[in-house]
Amino acid sequence: MKKKSLDQLLKEKFSRGADEYDQQRKHVIPCMGDLYQVTSDLATFDTPYPKVLDLGAGTGLLTSYLYDRYPEGSFTLLDLSEEMLDIARARFENAPNFSYVATDYLKYDFEGFFDIVISSLSIHHLEHQDKKFLYHKVHEHLNPGGIFINADQVLGPHPANEEEYQQNWMDKIEVGSLSESEKRIIYDRMKLDNPAPLEDNLKWLDEIGYQDVDVYYKYYNFVVLYGKK
């Protein structure tokens, strides 16, 4: 039997249970509100009409934070899962200037330039060389002064740190209100996690040429990374 590719596995696992995804998020990501709010706060561009690209947009939850800031902006949502994007379409059904593309963002031509590129809890699934490739690709498609914000997971710098990260995360999930079947789905998805250390992510952004690179938020293994063109 032919081994499934990473994008096939991600598409299958995140399409399954798409209807419950948003409801589960707040129980799975202990700092979700802060993670998304910090991302939105950092997404400052000197126009009320920014062009925004969301990579791994899922149901459009993070996009909704930016849409609240920029209701006259233009938004492009990319995700592997058509089922996830269907929920995003319903979320923004009366909003103009939205486009949706079910695709692998590593392979897709971004078709133009953007003022703000965001991503949340997606890029950590990639192989490390693909993370750096994507960071470079985003940089190429940013307008001058454009910003890239990645709200994502990182690997602990030492085994003891990583153990603490994971223990804290599992403890938070176990005391939440998820059913046992929901937990099984979540833990199954986690098998595809492949985060890189924070230091590596920051180094890649620096090497590619992003300016003002920083981590503006960190809660154990969850971070908000920032870079500007």
Q: What is the pLDDT along the chain (229 residues), one digit of tens a residue?
A: 455 566 555 544 454 555 565 566 777 888 999 999 999 999 999 999 999 999 999 999 999 999 999 999 999 999 999 999 999 999 999 899 999 999 999 999 998 999 999 999 999 999 999 999 999 999 999 999 999 999 999 999 999 999 999 999 999 888 877 778 877 877 788 888 999 999 999 999 999 999 999 999 999 999 999 999 9
**All domains of the chain in start order, with CATH:** 6-228 (3.40.50.150)
Q: Are the beta carbons of 30 and 143 closer than 8 angstroms?
A: no
- pLDDT for 149 equals 98
Helix 180-190 to helix 21-28 angle, to the nearest 10 degrees?
Answer: 80
What's the Cα-to-Cα distance from 189 to each of 11, 169, 186, rounded to whole Å? 11, 14, 5
Name which of 48, 229, 69 is nearest 149 in CA terms: 229
Hey, is 210 helix, strand or coil? coil
- The backbone region for 182, taken as left when phi is positive above 0, alpha when psi lies in -120 to 50, beta otherwise, is alpha
| Residue 148 contacts residue 139 (beta carbons within 8 Å) | yes
Quick one: angle between helices 180-190 and 6-15, nearest 10? 160
Q: Please give the pLDDT value at position 15.
A: 47
- pLDDT, position 220: 97
| Cβ neighbours of residue 205 closer than 8 Å, sequence gap 6 or more | 135, 148, 213, 225, 227
Is 212 in contact with 228 (CB distance < 8 Å)? yes
Please report the pLDDT score of residue 1 as a whole number. 44
